[in-house]
Structure 1
Amino acid sequence: MSVAPVASLPHPLVCAVEQIEGALDGMPIDGWSGLEPVTLRESAERLMRVEARVKAQLMAVTRALDETGLAKASGASSTGAMLAGSFGGDRRAADGLINQAKELDRAPATEDALARGAIGPAQAAIIAKAVAELPDDTTPEQKQACEDTLIGDAGRYSLKDLRSRSKRITDQFKPEPEVDQIENANLESQEKDAWRRSEFWMVNDGDGTCRGGFRIPEAQADMLRAAIEAISAPRRDHLHDHTPGAESYYDKDLEHRHRLGMGFAELCNHLPGDKLPGKGGLGATLMVRFDFETLLRGIKPATLSTGTRISAGQARQMACRLGMIPQVFDGKSLPLDHGHEQRLFTKTQRQALENRDGGCTFPECDRPPEWCEAHHWRMRWADGSDTTLDDGVLICPFHHRTIHDNDWAIRMAPVDGHPEYRAPGSDAWKRNHRWRP
């Protein structure tokens, strides 16, 4: 009597992939129109988390595939090349996927957070890199504390702030002076390497335009960005009536990239030839915040108004050569407050607000300081408000109109004195999280 062979059941993970495919088959692309805006937003956020969870599974399966050696056995130069040949055609992206999967293998808590949809792929990459770069003498307990801290920070900070935070993550277990020295040494090394890698290219397209690209150190890029965004900020559109084609180029619906391009062209048009190297020096105005210890000993890093961290040596050098405005704390105070007779915030007050707020203070807004207006948050100036630092917040034009039109409430947080906002009819106070060391 012959016995029929028992068919092997598919692995649960294979079944799960089939279920995902089946669910997507039942989701017509044109089925979203007509849904309530709140439902669309919630669905978009959930799909973003689903995408992160799928990305975690994709990295796990590609890592396991790479370990089998199938790529070389089948004649492919790498697992990434094999996958790119099967779907997508982007070998660089496939190789990057596998490299990130290997980094996440050394940060299991981060990979688990990605698999749960608690963080996104870009956040996971920053955290995994930070964990991999921890000093050799880091204990497993300290490593876990650092990883858990950054996972918690990911929900509050922008990618730039999370990256900056990750570079100082050793402050979880090292004394502050030692952390400052470690960070300053790392920044000095990074800055030297950035100068060595700097490059610039430009070609004439023959149609009246030129295009190009560059790689420059981050601090100098912040200077360039600060100047361009100050020129191209929407609140200055009325100043461009003299610009050729202003009626179209400075339209309210102009794409951000095009607006910055026009700002860059206008910046080049106003370069002071008499102050170029050999006759002075040239630099966009930024603020740098450092404390009195930095002036005395020069070992602690400083922070630009953009949030970029720089070494103490670069801060001193830039303050001497460029349009850098130092804000020294625990030193002599500047006259920042003015009474009711003055309506507009002074230049000095504005600089102090930029340093404190870092840009628009409305929750989740990423507009830079150059795009913002100083707002009297306690009461309107016409109703008797004083023009003082305590009464000022930076807010971009869009959110400035939002709080006036919809009666948002504003307060200064009792713990650290940073602005917080409450929507009409809500009891929850929210704030814009920008990390500062």
Structure 2
Amino acid sequence: MATFTDVAALIPTLCGQLVDGGDADCARASMMRMTDADVVKVLEETAFLARQLEQIQTAAAGVIAVRSTRDRGHSGLSASRGHRSAASLIQDVTGSTKADANRVVRVGEALLDDALLHDEADAAGDISQGGQSCDGLPVATPWHQPLRDALRDSRVTSAQFDAIKRGLGDPPQIGADAVPASGADMAADALAQAEEVTRAAWSQAAEHLVGEAAQRTVEELWQAARTVRDLLDPEGAEARFLARFENRSFRTFRGPDGQKRASIVLEDEGDLFLETMMAAALRPRRGGPRFVDSDEKEQAASLVDDPRTNDQLAYDLIMDVMRAGALADAESVFGARQPGVRLVQVVDADGRGAPVAHTEDHLVSMPGVVAEQHICDSGFVPVTVDACGNPLDVGREQRLFTPKQRIALAIRDGGCRWRGCDRPASYGEAHHIDEWDRDQGRTDIDRGILLCRYHHMTLHHGGWRITRQGQSDFVLHHTSGETFAMRPRTALRYAWGGIDPPPKRFRPAA
């Protein structure tokens, strides 16, 4: 078994600074003497090494899962060691959580090539030919092959792999009745072609999301993948929406200490309304935008100074809303930024709304009929955009961005555009990339960008600046010479049709 020193030798920046037999305390002492740049480099090197080890661990988990299938009964690997499942065995060996063990099993199974699975089954006597399906035909390349390649190349972690694959889900099955019935052979060919086109669309979506993995959190990747799936499969989007609605529930129970507790399963609209209600009330505590109005500033300051925790404030807020109901004084509870779910729906030149809309905050997909329902209830704000979501007609030449311009920025950016930030649009502040005084900058939408309060402050005080050539991506620059492209979110590129080439999905002939 490798010693701590052996492992440390694999980290170039740390290698040579530890004596034989050195331990974690020795490593910490060495790093305390390092420069900031070297400490960050050690972290980067260990993260790279961890990803390599993770691949080996994931591969082992996949093989264990294959050898522990239910049909092998008590002779299966996990059962033979006294465990009900592969995840249980992995959790016992690694000391991980149940959720992490289940994730590594899912990823491990998805990583195994179908040919290897058949070879394993062949070795177990389950099938007669390895690398082929039961009918002797070659096994097709799976749609998630780009995810496999990215994990093997260390471009994504297993958590990112799992988030993208679960969010996209498997491509929908195309029934024989979805193709023209013009002869059995032709129908079979059309069905095979339709399945191939659909699988290619999912594979392309996986590639696009892999490209965003370095800049997005795991949670963001899952949400983006789910939204992209709904945009590719609008027919199934409504069915999934209704299924989540049917799963809604609320129950109360007493814990071991006798105190009443509650458990709630939220459907999509309830989830969004609750989140926006909490955000509107607690935004100053969560790092929301700075306020210009003196009354808002005073209210925000009092909330920041409130001795209650965020969880206690959230509880008191829910109880206030429940008590007051329709008579609640919304302005005194939420201030000027009252809660509400804003939906974004693409409308074509003929006025037809897209079958799938998305929320301004968090980019959660919703069936188009939900957007139409909201239009009947609260109206809409029209914003004209190009194929990349760049607003075209919302006004210019103001010192400050107008409310309508801010809506347009939220629609285009979907939240803070800073690399790796997941703050939603409602937490954004509009930044002029051309300074008003220094550069004689104009308040044009194409020269503005949404940043959360923290990253807006970081930009102005940390030696950063943002540039943009025409309608291309914004670019973040640091005085050290580092540059980062501030790419639009993948879900928005799908919504605006800004993917080149555009993804295709088979649709039944009329």
TM-score range, shorter chain: 0.7 to 0.9
Question: 1:294-340, CA deviations, whole angstroms, 9 ceiling, x for partnerless residues?
Answer: 9844552112112112111111123334x574545479x99832545
- State the AA in 2 paired with 1:374: A
Partner residue in 2 for 1:218: 268
- Cα deviations by residue, 1:37-71 (Å, 9 ceiling, x for unpaired): 22222222332333233222112112223444222
Aligned to 2:186: none
Residue segments in structure 2 that go unaligned for 5+ positions in a row? 9-20, 68-75, 114-143, 174-191, 285-289, 292-296, 329-337, 495-510
Cα contact 1:49–1:118 (8 A) shared by 2: no
SS in structure 2 opposite 1:117?
A: coil
Corresponding residue for residue 54 of structure 2 = 55
Q: Which has the larger displacement, 118-127 or 215-224?
A: 215-224
User: Is 1:126 equivalent to 2:182 in the alignment?
Assistant: no
CA displacement 1:66-115 (0-9 Å, x = unmatched): 44422223443223333444452755543443233213326555344324
- 2:256 and 2:203 map into 1 onto residues whose CA distance is 56
Task: Identify the match of residue 314 of structure 1 among 360, 370, 394.
Answer: 370
Distance in 2 of aligned mates of 1:146 and 1:393: 26
The Cα of 1:186 is off from its aligned counterpart by: 1.9
Tell me, in whole angstroms, the C-alpha distance in 1 between the residues paired with 2:203 and 2:415: 33
| Residue 80 of structure 2, aligned match among 73, 81, 91 | 73
Could you say which residue in structure 2 is the equivalent of 1:291? 346
SS in 2 for 1:292: coil
Q: Please state whether the residue corresponding to 2:435 is helix, strand or coil.
A: coil
Give matches, 1:145-224, under 5 Å: 147-167=206-226, 183-201=233-251, 212-224=262-274
Amino acid at match of 2:196: T
In structure 1, the residue corresponding to 2:33 is in which secondary structure?
coil
- 1:286 is paired with a residue whose SS is coil
1:344-371 deviations in Å (ceiling 9; x for gaps): 4332222222222222233332222222
Q: 2:109 aligns with which of 102, 109, 118?
A: 102
Q: Which moved more, 1:305-314 or 1:29-38?
A: 29-38
With normalisation by structure 2, the TM-score equals 0.64
Cα distance change on mapping 1:364 and 1:339 into 2, 3 Å: same
- Contact residue 184 and residue 299 of structure 1 kept, 8 A: no
**For residues 380 and 311 of structure 2, what CA distance do their matches in structure 1 show?**
24
Instruction: String of CA shifts for 1:200-252, please: whole Å, max 9, x gaps.
Output: 34568999x97644221234323322332233223367414555x93545xxx
Match of residue 395 from structure 2: 337
After superposition, the Cα gap between the structure-2 partners of 1:144 and 1:37, relative to the gap in structure 1 and judged at 3 Å, is: same
User: CA, structure 1 residues 160+81, in 2 after alignment: closer, same or farther (shift >3 Å)?
Assistant: closer
Unaligned runs of 5+ in 1: 1-16, 171-178, 250-257, 277-282
User: What does the per-residue CA deviation read over 1:150-175, in whole Å, with 9 as the maximum and x for residues that have no partner?
Assistant: 433433444455335545768xxxxx
Quote the offset at 1:145 in angstroms: 5.0
8 Å CA contact retained: 2:150, 2:210: yes
Work out which of the residue numbers 301, 313, 317 in structure 2 matches 1:262: 313
TM-score, with length taken from structure 1: 0.73
Cα 1:387–1:27 change in 2 (3 A) is: same
Gap change, CA 1:210 and 1:428, over 3 Å in 2: same
| 8 Å contact kept, 2:417–2:449 | yes
Residue aligning to 1:420:
475
Residue identity over aligned pairs, in percent, reads 18
Structure 1 distance, partners of 2:475, 2:105, is 41
**Alpha-carbon shift at residue 193 of structure 1 (Å):** 0.8
Kindly state the Cα deviation for residue 275 of structure 1 after the two structures are TM-superposed.
Answer: 6.4
Match of 2:299 in 1: 239
Match in the other structure for 2:73: none
User: CA 1:238 to 1:42, structure 2 compared with 1: closer, same or farther past 3 Å?
Assistant: farther
**Amino acid in structure 2 at the alignment position of 1:126:** A
Map of 2:196 onto structure 1: 139
Equivalent position amino acid for 2:313 in 1? M
- Corresponding residue for residue 4 of structure 1: none
Q: Is the 8 A contact 1:357 1:393 kept in 2?
A: yes
Could you report, residue by residue, the CA deviation over 1:125-163 in whole angstroms, capped at 9, with x for unpaired residues? 134446760245533983765554443343344445533
Deviates more, 1:214-223 or 1:133-142: 133-142
Partner of 1:279: none
Task: Output the amino acid matched with 1:105.
Answer: L
Mapped partners of 1:366, 1:335: distance in 2: 27
Paired position in structure 2 for 1:363 = 419
CA–CA distance in 1 between the matches of 2:444 and 2:223?
31
1:305 aligns with 2:360: yes
- Secondary structure, in 3 states, of the residue corresponding to 1:420? strand
Superposition RMSD on alpha carbons, in Å? 4.1
* 1:353 lines up with 2:401 in the alignment: no
Q: Give the conservation status (yes or no) of the 8 Å contact 2:467–2:475.
A: yes
State the distance in 1 between where 2:484 and 2:65 align: 47
Q: Which residue of 1 aligns with 2:500?
A: none
Matching residue of 1:7: none
Cα deviations by residue, 1:2-30 (Å, 9 ceiling, x for unpaired): xxxxxxxxxxxxxxx74899416755253
- CA 1:110–1:386: 2 relative to 1, 3 Å: closer
Residue identity in the other structure for 2:157: G
Pair 1:376-2:428 in alignment: no
Distance 1:149 1:365, change over 3 A: closer
